[in-house]
Amino acid sequence: MPEARRPDPEDLWHVYTDGSTRHERRQTFSGWAARAVQPGSRQVRQASGAGPGGTSLAAETEAILAGLRLVPGGAPARLYSDLALPALLAILHGPAGEAARDHLRDLWVQPVARSRGRHPADMHHVARRAEAGVREGEALDAAGLHGAALEMQVLARAGEDGAALPLGGGERLAGQTRPLVLEVGGLPPLPAGGRPLRLNLTLGLGRVEGQGRGGEEALRVALARPLALLTRGALVELRVPSAWLVTARAALGSLGAVQVRPGPDPAGPPEEAPPAEEG
């Protein structure tokens, strides 16, 4: 059943896609484009491609799969496409769709009107340009994609969201992957303020468990998802003692895929941080 719209999580990524196919002189060429936007951290990621042959559905499918892969592991996403909801769900429940969304925490699927809103319109034009370029024997303009991403970052700062026009209800596909949890060890009880400081830290992964019919299966169950996150540009949750929370968030604020959360506090009373050694 379609799910009613709920407030978006703060770390939600919005994924916009489109595919284009054109028949000319007994030949067919297809192009596709995808953009992933994270408004809170003002991140924009974009990809496109094109080639001879194909169908409109194949181009749309490639755009959807590529768009989902742009989202960091462990993050939730909302997918916008001008395909009808049954067609979208058929793609996402297929083997390729499940593989493309396996790293997500949750996925909301929302059919939208074609080319209504800044992001859908941009993806339609980029897909058409990609298709036209390969038809005319041109290479894809990677510099243009980079410029488009920079432009969308400027729009994000200005508060323009380029929202799509929803058509009917969407649907939520529950995920299982959560942010990678790292605990920082070796920090002194308090930051050093403005004094020089040398740190020797350790990063600890949380406990992972796996159960299976043998050692191989149990190990695969325990480690498959953490390792998938590590190798797919994961959304990382970094846990630090509460006294270091403000400092860590300030130090890592530019890393949009890292979420700093309070972790266990060290035992014992707070002590002054040791100064850095002079060398």
How many domains are there within the chain? 2
pLDDT of residue 90: 95
Is 205 a residue whose pLDDT tops 70? Answer: yes
d(CA 18, CA 57): 10
Of residues 206 and 125, more confidence is placed in: 125
Count of C-beta atoms within a 10 Å radius of residue 20: 25
Overall pTM surpassing 0.85 (yes/no)? no
Of residues 34 and 254, more confidence is placed in: 34
The pLDDT tens digits for 119-160 are 888 888 888 888 887 777 665 444 344 445 555 555 554 444
Instruction: Indicate whether 139 and 253 sit together in one domain.
Output: no
Q: Is residue 278 part of a domain?
A: no
Instruction: Indicate whether 168 and 241 sit together in one domain.
Output: no
Instruction: Indicate whether 191 and 110 sit together in one domain.
Output: no
Q: How far is CA 221 from CA 84, 176, 212, 224, in A?
A: 35, 13, 7, 6
Instruction: Indicate whether 211 and 230 sit together in one domain.
Output: yes
Instruction: Indicate whether 52 and 85 sit together in one domain.
Output: yes
Taking residues 208-235, what's their average pLDDT? Answer: 76
Domain-terminating residue out of 120, 151, 174: 174
pLDDT band at 66 (very low <50, low <70, confident <90, very high): very high
Of residues 245 and 136, more confidence is placed in: 245
pLDDT of residue 157: 47
Q: Do residues 131 and 21 make contact, with C-beta atoms less than 8 angstroms apart?
A: yes
Instruction: Indicate whether 254 and 139 sit together in one domain.
Output: no
Instruction: Indicate whether 117 and 143 sit together in one domain.
Output: yes
- Provide the percentage of residues in the chain whose pLDDT is more than 90: 22
Q: Choose the most confident range, by mean pLDDT, from 45-54, 57-66, 163-172.
A: 57-66
- CA angle at residue 6 from 46 to 102, to 5 degrees? 45
Domain-terminating residue out of 158, 174, 190: 174
- Tokens 């968030």 belong to which residue? 249
Q: Is residue 1 part of a domain?
A: no
Is 270 a residue whose pLDDT tops 70? Answer: no
Q: Do residues 212 and 156 make contact, with C-beta atoms less than 8 angstroms apart?
A: no
Of residues 271 and 220, more confidence is placed in: 220
Q: Among 100-109, 202-211, 212-221, 227-236, which stretch is predicted with the lowest mean pLDDT?
A: 227-236
Is 15 a residue whose pLDDT tops 80? Answer: yes
Of residues 185 and 254, more confidence is placed in: 185
Domain-terminating residue out of 142, 158, 174: 174
What's the whole-number average pLDDT of the chain?
79
Instruction: Indicate whether 185 and 169 sit together in one domain.
Output: no
pLDDT of residue 77: 94
Q: Is residue 271 part of a domain?
A: no
Instruction: Indicate whether 158 and 211 sit together in one domain.
Output: no
Q: Domain of 206? A: 180-262
Q: Is residue 185 part of a domain?
A: yes
Taking residues 25-41, what's their average pLDDT? Answer: 88
Instruction: Indicate whether 153 and 187 sit together in one domain.
Output: no
CATH assignment at residue 51:
3.30.420.10
Is 113 a residue whose pLDDT tops 90? Answer: no
Q: Do residues 59 and 51 make contact, with C-beta atoms less than 8 angstroms apart?
A: no
Instruction: Indicate whether 34 and 107 sit together in one domain.
Output: yes
Instruction: Indicate whether 233 and 186 sit together in one domain.
Output: yes
